[in-house]
Structures are given as structure tokens and as C-alpha cells.
Structure 1
Amino acid sequence: MAEISQAGSRSAGELGPGQRDGAWERLGRDHFDVVVIGGGVVGAGIALDAATRGLEVALVEARDLASGTSSRSSKMFHGGLRYLEQLDFGLVREALRERELSLKTLAPHLVKPLRFLYPLTHRVWERPYVASGLVLYDTMGGAKSVPGQHHLTRSAALRLAPGVRRDALIGGVTYYDTVVDDARHTMTVARTAAHYGAVVRTSTQVVGFLREADRVVGVKVRDSEDGRATQVRGHVVINATGVWTDEIQALSRQRGRFHVRASKGVHIVVPRDRIASDTALILRTPTSVLFVIPWGPGHWIIGTTDTDWNLDLAHPAATKADIAYLLERVNQVLVTPLTHEDIQGVYAGLRPLLAGESDETSKLSREHAVARICPGLVAIAGGKYTTYRVMAYDAVDAAAPDIPQRVSPSITEKVPLLGADGYFALLNQAPQLAQTYGVHPYRIEHLLDRYGSLVTDVLDLAAGKPELLQPITESPTYLRVEAVYAATAEGALHLDDILARRTRISIEYSHRGVACAEEVGRLVAPVLGWDDQRVAREVATYNARVDAEIRSQTQPDDISADALRAAAPEPRPEILEPVPTDG
């Protein structure tokens, strides 16, 4: 039977060094009902869905949880307002239902309501046109637990967003969506799957498939840290690797039922005081929309681009042209234009789009597809972050014919993620928690919005070590204990995992994590068993990654930017590139 942690225990869903060793043993020993390839939000969601149906589950990820697309999104759980124009009503309705579930039940500590201003620029026709779209949006579920649309005059819109130029709008409409830290959300989904018995192991790369006659019966895996290899057997393997779908499909030597194209989306991060606004903005562009989203207490995220990408899937590179495009678009509406000097962070991600007839990635489908490729192998691709849970239960349903036992229905709509239960009560108790642990109440609120009711697990790591409750010196948004917790319970194995995903230091500070890399390395060294030499190597590898990214962002095109970014060393020394095809 699956090894299930008891609710409320310190070990609930922990992904730490001890768990990692045990997971490797179980991968090579146990026989699983479902083996999931890919530690993005869809793979993590599949593991959670299957585990809560009572199935034996293993999830393997070549790098880190959310290290690909799932940490580089626009940071929203949104219904997809623009898909109404494409008459994709089903996708919008489904996404809004999922948004509501996460906002109120599944992850209220991670998914937060966010007001948007849509500036109107055309007289007579645009206001009724936008209003009719938002009526549909609200009716489909967009205004279920947040306010519906509200129409504003030009003066009222400018009072809400005084940083917007007066001549950039004739009025405005506000509506609500949500914001989420995608990397933390994905990691929490994976931890919740582990809590319900799934074996979750990162730095575990699939290098081949096991077969018996025409049936896939498992995978060959290799440890990306030390090169060890083993075999993982299961009734069914689910390929949930996003933009790597075609590569894993080729590895299986089976003809795929669909193909995935990668679309690059670039975002920039600027200080909050550079744009005077009390609301997020959604701006129409010739081909899509541009979001200006408040991020934490001190930043805006501006994005995104939408261009084809055919180069390194692991490390997509932003170019000078991508950044110039975003600045040009947002500056068309700002009183005080942004410059390159205002940018504190840049990130590029890839959307896994189902290839269609259109050559324009902005018109490729955001619907998902599931296919049973052959006995014992299922693939899922496409979709959007918001609908990960729907994608997960569709994938497990598709895998059910390969599982000998009866497969129970999906129940994940009733399963809160770790940290959700008790979150609202702890919000009310924030002053008492602050007094108990000797930290400022605003720190408690910040921690609650990152860990929910697991906040006490985090703070308890500082027992007898009051220095851990001090801020990280050059990144004071975060406490030192958060870095320690990332290595102890959240599966972080490298500085990059901590600075780029468990925290967002790599995009929130102009030094991009370089100034605090050594401090963080020394904080986690006792947990991860690093000596001074290993700390120095981790710092050097992280600094080289940041340097490569910054230099790539000065290049004029994808090819030259990719060459610079791809030259940076990998933190996982035994990762194989490209994925081998020895079957």
C-alpha cells in the first residue's frame, strides 16, 4: 500500500534528502499502477489525481519541479478572457470553474483575487463590445466570488491608474482575475501528491522505455546528480512533459497522435514605484494582449510575447528584441516611460501548444489533448495552467484501461492542497503567531501567503537558531529559514532551485540572486551535505547561469541568445542532453 503521511505531521508531504533516498529505493523495487514523466503542474496534478484515487504512483522529473513552463508563466489563474473572441466558450467556462475552485477551496493561500483595468480607446462601439464579453465572462463564473465588471469614465480610470497617459484611454472597465506564484503552486501540488502516497523524485531523467511485446511496462531512469540508473515498472506510463512531449514520444519508438509546438513568452519585472496604479492592466496588442500585473509588495510583471521557438527547450532565452517589444508596448500607455535600466528581472518560458494549421502561435489551440499511444503509454499535451486539474483527471481516465484494478473516480476537486486547511484561521491569528515567533506581523502574512498553514513547520526550523528568523542579507523579502525549509521539505537540491523557484529572488532583485548566493548556499549546506568546495561550485554555477542570461538578453535574435544561454553550466552534473534514444 502507498505510504501515506498523517495529516498535520511534520513529515506531511516533505520532499527532503531522506525522502529522496527512500524514493530511489522504491522506484527500483516497487511496481506502480501509474508512472508519470514530468514534474510540471500537469505531471504533479496527475500524480495527485492518481494517488487520491488509491493508485500506486511514481512521478519522475529530470530537473526540478516546475523548472520548465510551470515556473515561467504570466502568474495567473485566469479564465482566458481573450478566448471569448475566438468563441472558445467551453475553455473559458472550464477555466473559470477551476479558478473558482483554487481561489476558494484548493489553494486560497496561493491563488489571490486581482483587479484589472481594461482601458477603452475607441468611442461608441468598444464599450458595449467589451461589456458584452465581460457579461459572458461574469455569467460563466468570472464573478462568482469576486466583483463583476465595473465601468469607469476616463477621470475615474485615471484616478485608479494615474500612471496611465490621459490620451491613452477614453474610459475603462474593471474586472477580476487572480494571481499565483506558479512555481510554488506546482511544488505544492507535488508535495500534496507525496502526502497521499505518491513517490515523487526530481533529478531523475527518463532515458528509455521498458517493453514486453507491444506493451510499455515502465521506464529506464538515470539520476541527474550521480548517474545511477534503475528501472521503474508500472501498468501505465503517462507522458506529461509539455514542450518535451515529442522528444519523449520519440524515445518510446511509438508514433504520436499529436505534435507540440513551443511558443516563447517573455516577461520583464520592474519596481512597483515605476508605474503608479492601484490595479493591474490588460492592454490590447495587434495579435494578443499585454498584462501589467502587481507582483508581491514591490514589483510589476509585464508580458508577454508570443513567438515560435525551435531551440533549447530547457533554457529559452529572451532577446534584446523581446525586451524592446515589451517596453515599446507598455510605454504607449504610460505617463513615465520605462527604460532598460528599470528592469530588475527577465524570464522566458515556453508554452506547449498543440500544433494546428495556423503558423501563428497565438492562434494555436490552448485546449489539451490526451491519447493512448499504445498499451501502457498515454500522452497529454496542450492546455493552460489554470486547467491543470482537468488535464490530470482526463489523463488518469485515459490510463485506466491499462490498470488491472478498478479505478475510482477523480476527487481532486475536494482535496485542498497542503497549506490550505486552516489558512483563514491562521490569517486571523497572525498577531499571535508574530508574538510567538518574534517576527513582525507583516512577515507572518507574507509567509502565510507562501506556505499557508504549513507556516509553523517553516518557523519551527528556527527553534534554537534565532539567526534563521533574520532576512537574507541582500534579499530581505525572504527569511533565512525559508531557504533552509526549501532544502529540508520542498525538494530543492541546488541554488538555482531555491533562488529561481522556491523563492523568486532571481527575478525580484537587480542582482538576480548573485549577491546572496553564497549566503544561501551556506544556509542549506548542512541540510544537503555540502562542504566548502561544493558550496563554491554551486555559487559559481549559479553566477554563470545569471551572467549567461544577462548577456543573452543583449542579443538581437533567438539563435545568438540561445548560444550564449546554452553555454552556461548545468547545476545537475549528470543530466543528459539531448535525451538519448537507446530505448
Structure 2
Amino acid sequence: MASTRLTADTRRQALEALEASADPKNELDVLVVGGGVTGAGIALDAATRGLSTAIIEGQDWASGTSSRSSKLVHGGLRYLQMLDFHLVHEALTERDLLLKTIAPHLVRPVPFLYPLEHRVWERGYVGAGIALYDTLASLAPGKRALPLHRHLSKSQMVRKFPDLAHDAAIGAVQYWDANVDDARLTATLVRTATSYGAHAATRTQLVQLTKGATGTVNGAVVVDLETGKEITVRARSVINATGVWTEDTEALAGDEGGLRVLASKGIHIVVPRERIKGQVGLILQTEKSVLFVIPWSRYWVIGTTDTPWEQELTHPVATAADIDYVLEHANAVLAKPLTRDDIIGTWAGLRPLLQPGTKEGTSSAKVSREHTVASPTPGLTVIAGGKLTTYRVMAKDAVDFAIGQRASALPSITDQIPLLGAVGLKAVQRQARTWAQQYGWKPSMVDHLLHRYGSNLREIVELCQQDPSLAQPLDATSAYLRAEIVYGATHEGALHLEDVLLHRTRLNYEVPDRGLSALDEIADLVAPVLGWDDATRAAEIAAYTARAEAEAAAEDEPDDVSAEQTRLAADDVRPLQPLRTT
């Protein structure tokens, strides 16, 4: 059995496997480019079909769109308005699979209120739509994963959400969807893929696609950004799953074909849970997008926006105008208006919006309402569009397309593959009571740990047994155990401080100082694991501090251009290299 850990050592072994693939005897079946949720899903799909698989990511796992979503697992009520019943059913089926089989520890039910402004026609119209939503969910195999919707009177609505303005609605419909820590889902997919033999390496950038004598893409040149070493990789199929970078990656093939993708920015704000009195989430229609008020742990997540993004793709940031827009629309229904002073964090992400049609020269394509798989040139498969909830379907389609006729003999089985942390979950939930007594963990901490790690909580406990001081929370914030920080480096592949604060935890946006007060303690915990000397430790602290300060300053800028200039004042911890077209 391959390792279930992601470490600096397993990364080194993955790079060795990439280097060895230059020998025809060791050629990979599939090289996946892009470490977001789609790429991670593709790696798991390919590995569980028995294909030799590697996945590379130029930054950290989920460092792009897949750590900056609304963190919802849902069917998409808005598609019912478009009468796209197949798409909604597909997404709801995937939602229920995640809840029941694939990741019940990571994906959790969340009730939402749809406030009603009109007494008769709107209740009938919205109620019928949400009833259809529930009906489509009921078509999924097995027992329902979530309760049915229900209509609420105004008094019932107020009990569920006391801080909803009294004149904002005459009642509501309550329905259920789910949420997930998108970065954790992505990293867990990668870890699960490696447990089935996939090779995985972050900070490993594709800079060139290679072609054989017939013009077929047969591999790539990649750069280990940690050392600067170049590696030539050979693979029968290269799958481009780079989201908003799709066209940049396609261009490396030197052909005109491919998919067209535009970037659209969406931002979210975070406010403390005690600031808004409510037990459930809200879904609100705005003139530009849907606005969610989502209960999450110790805070609320509110968003999103939908605006064109024409700047560089790596560092989108929330501007003052973005934040004001979200505040304005949230305050339209809140009894106690929010101000900028209530905000403890923000994030901004880019949606890869698939444009109609494909570029001239694209040989073939498989299109759905949400995503498209195409081959701009032989040997290269490109997938774009889609959403978090349907990552597994996207992965299946991409691998089917890449391996062609072999797909019938090697069908996808990821609907039957629980992710790490799902197997044995119920047993560990019971064992956790003993560990809570042993280490003095409050019920909220136990719930936090089970939600993040599931049955892998046993590995956290092993660290605590080896060093009891790791069972204590961080001094600067009680939200995370010291063991969780160490675990990020020993099991989850963190290489840098920003990996820990942005993706292994959520400290970058869930505490007011973006985690700076905990930085020294976190550095002390991971430095021995990663072999840092004093100079490296100091450089890591300086790099994250500069990033956090630049992001905070960008939030005061009025527009994308000035915000980008402010954000780019901080250098990347491992800058990406220029791409080389063939």
C-alpha cells in the first residue's frame, strides 16, 4: 500500500518518479497538471482505475479557486430557473454521495432560509421550485441524505433567524444543502490518490509541453520550484486541469485549438458568529448574483460577487468596492447592520467561466451545461468549467476522454471510494469521547477535529501521545491544536508557512490579524519537521507577514487595478517561472 501521508519526503519520491518516467519502461499513463479540486479528483480517478498517475501543482494544493469558493456543496437552485433539471439532479446526486459515502466527515448539512417578500404568489412559486429541488434529490439512490424543505411563518422564521429585519420578509422556505472546507477536500483527494499509488508534487510547475515525431503531446518539462531543477516527464496522456490558467497551459502545445475560459472574481467576507443572531443560513437574490449568509464554525461567511477580472491570475483580492457591495446587500435584510469594523477576514477567488464553443483546431469535445472536455491536440486533454460539487463527474469525464477506448474496460469507480478519514468514522466518533477526557478537549474542539480529520483523528492523537504539549491549543488562538499545525507538515504536505495558514488551517481569514500573532509559534512547530534553519525560519515569517500586510492594504483600494498593485508589493514565497511555448 502506498503512503497515505504527504510529506517533503513523499514529494521527493514523486519527483524521482517523474524523472524516471523519461525511460519508456516507466512512462506514466496520466500526468495531471493542476492541483485544484478537479485535478485532485482526476488523479484519484486515474489511480483507482489502475493507471500510473502523477499530479503536479505550481503552488500549493487548492491554492487557486479551490480554496476560495463559497464552500458550498449544492445542486444549484438557480439552474431550476433555467429548467436545467439534468444538471441539478447530477449535482444533487453528487452532493448526497459526498454526504453519505465519499466524505461524510468533511461535508456537512446546512439549513438555509429563502425569505419571502410576497404573501401568496411567491410562496407558491418558490415553494414549488424548492419542492422540485427536493424531488430531484430524492431520485438519487438510497435513503435521502437531507431533510425535506418546509414552509415557515414569519414568527417561525424569526425564531430561526432573530436578526433578520422584521420588514425584510413575511415568511420563508427552509431547505437543506451542505458545506465543505474546499481546501481540505482537495488535499484529502490528493492524499487518497497517493494511497492508491499516484505521485503528487506541489511547487512543481509545468513550463513546457513536449511532442513526439508525429506531433502528439507525449509529456512535459516541469521545474521543481524548491530547487530550480528541471525534469522531463513522459506520459501517454497529459490532462490540463488548471482552471483560470487553462488557456495559458493550452498555449504551450503551440496549437490554436482549445477551450476559452474567462475569469470572474467572487469575494466573501467573514464576521464573528456572535455578531448575527441566527441558527440557519440565508440565500438572497441580488441584481448581479446570489448572496449567501452561511453559518460556519465560529463565524459567518457572506458572499459573493461576480465581476470580470482582467488582472494577473494568481493573487485576486477583495477591494473596498467589493466589500461595500456585500455589506450593502447583507444589511438590506439584517436588523443590525454590519460595518467594516465587524469584518475579521476576506477572500477572493476566480471562477473559470467556460465560454461558448471551442477554438478553431480543437479536434473533439464533450460538453455539459457546466463543463467541457476537449482535445486541442493529440495527447493533451483539457477540462474547464464546472463547480466544486461536481468535481467527481468532471474527473470521470476527463479520464474517460483521455484514455479513449480503454475507458470501457477501466470504468471509473470513484463513486465507491471513500476518502481518507471516512472509513471507520463512526468508531472514531465514539473513541473521541475518551480522548476528549484525556486531553481536556471541549465538545466544540472534538467536533472541530472530527469535521476536519474524520477517522484520521487517530493520527492527531498519535502525535499528542508522542508529545502531550501538542494536545493544547495554540497560545494565540484557541481554534487549533498545536498538533494540527505539526500534522499539516507531517501528513498533509505543507512546505511553507503560507501553506499552513491559508490551506491547512483557515487562520488567514478567520482571525482579525490573519494569523500574524500565531506566526512565531507556528514556525517553531513546523521548523523541526521541515528541517528549517534560523535563516529559513526568519525568511518564512517575513514572507507571510509581507503577504498578509499586502492583502490587508489591498482591501482599502477602490478598484482591481490599484488593489492588484498593492497586493503584488509582496513577493511570492516561490515565484512561478515563465512558460515556454513549443
Q: Distance in 2 between matches of 1:438 and 1:122?
A: 50
Residue correspondence of structure 1 range 543-558 to structure 2 within 5 A: 543-558=545-560
Match of 2:160 in 1: 160
3-state SS, counterpart of residue 338 of structure 1: coil
3-state SS, counterpart of residue 433 of structure 2: helix
The count of aligned residue pairs is: 562
Residue pair 2:33, 2:56 contacting (<8 A) in 1 also: yes
> How big is the shift at 1:467?
1.3
> How big is the shift at 1:287?
2.8
Residue pair 2:253, 2:581 contacting (<8 A) in 1 also: no
Candidates 493, 497, 521, aligned match of 2:523 = 521
Structure 1 residue 96 corresponds to structure 2 residue 97: no
Match of 1:231 in 2: 232
Q: Distance in 2 between matches of 1:151 and 1:439?
A: 38
> How big is the shift at 1:229?
0.6
Q: Report the AA paired with residue 244 of structure 1.
A: W
Inter-CA distance 72–146: structure 2 relative to 1 (3 Å threshold): same
Match of 1:40 in 2: 36
TM-score normalised by length of structure 1 = 0.94
Structure 1 residue 500 corresponds to structure 2 residue 499: no
Q: Report the AA paired with residue 370 of structure 1.
A: V
Match of 2:205 in 1: 205
Residues 121-155 of structure 1: per-residue CA shift (max 9 Å, x gap): 12321111101111110000069221111101111
Candidates 85, 102, 108, aligned match of 1:106 = 102
> How big is the shift at 1:210?
1.1
Inter-CA distance 68–142: structure 2 relative to 1 (3 Å threshold): farther
3-state SS, counterpart of residue 255 of structure 1: coil
Residue pair 1:366, 1:382 contacting (<8 A) in 2 also: no
Residue correspondence of structure 1 range 424-443 to structure 2 within 5 A: 424-436=426-438, 439-443=441-445
Match of 2:178 in 1: 178
Q: Distance in 1 between matches of 2:398 and 2:248?
A: 19
3-state SS, counterpart of residue 369 of structure 1: strand
> How big is the shift at 1:158?
0.8
Inter-CA distance 407–25: structure 2 relative to 1 (3 Å threshold): farther
> How big is the shift at 1:488?
0.8
Inter-CA distance 437–197: structure 2 relative to 1 (3 Å threshold): farther
Q: Distance in 1 between matches of 2:437 and 2:327?
A: 44
Residue correspondence of structure 1 range 117-516 to structure 2 within 5 A: 117-141=113-137, 144-212=144-212, 213-296=214-297, 298-356=298-356, 367-401=370-404, 407-436=409-438, 439-516=441-518
Residue pair 1:317, 1:553 contacting (<8 A) in 2 also: yes
Q: Distance in 2 between matches of 1:440 and 1:289?
A: 36
Inter-CA distance 300–568: structure 2 relative to 1 (3 Å threshold): same
Match of 1:362 in 2: none
Match of 1:566 in 2: 568
Match of 2:15 in 1: 24
- Please identify, of 394-403 and 18-27, the stretch whose mean Cα deviation from structure 2 is larger: 394-403
Q: Distance in 1 between matches of 2:55 and 2:4?
A: 14
Q: Distance in 1 between matches of 2:431 and 2:221?
A: 48
Match of 1:9 in 2: none
Residues 298-347 of structure 1: per-residue CA shift (max 9 Å, x gap): 10000000011111111101110000000000000111100000000000
TM-score normalised by length of structure 2 = 0.94
Residue pair 1:165, 1:334 contacting (<8 A) in 2 also: yes
Residues 274-296 of structure 1: per-residue CA shift (max 9 Å, x gap): 11101011111123210000111
Match of 1:13 in 2: 4
Question: What's the C-alpha RMSD, in Å, of the aligned pairs?
Answer: 1.6
3-state SS, counterpart of residue 167 of structure 2: helix
3-state SS, counterpart of residue 429 of structure 1: helix
3-state SS, counterpart of residue 168 of structure 1: coil
Residue pair 1:521, 1:535 contacting (<8 A) in 2 also: yes
> How big is the shift at 1:461?
1.6
Match of 2:580 in 1: 581
Q: Report the AA paired with residue 87 of structure 1.
A: L
Residues 192-238 of structure 1: per-residue CA shift (max 9 Å, x gap): 00000000110000000111021000010001122111011110000
Residue pair 2:251, 2:581 contacting (<8 A) in 1 also: no
3-state SS, counterpart of residue 163 of structure 1: coil
> How big is the shift at 1:90?
1.5
Q: Distance in 1 between matches of 2:352 and 2:30?
A: 23
- Structure 1's unaligned 5+ residue stretches are 6-11, 358-364
Q: Distance in 2 between matches of 1:356 and 1:464?
A: 56
> How big is the shift at 1:429?
2.8
Residue pair 1:475, 1:505 contacting (<8 A) in 2 also: no
Inter-CA distance 206–407: structure 2 relative to 1 (3 Å threshold): farther
3-state SS, counterpart of residue 480 of structure 2: strand
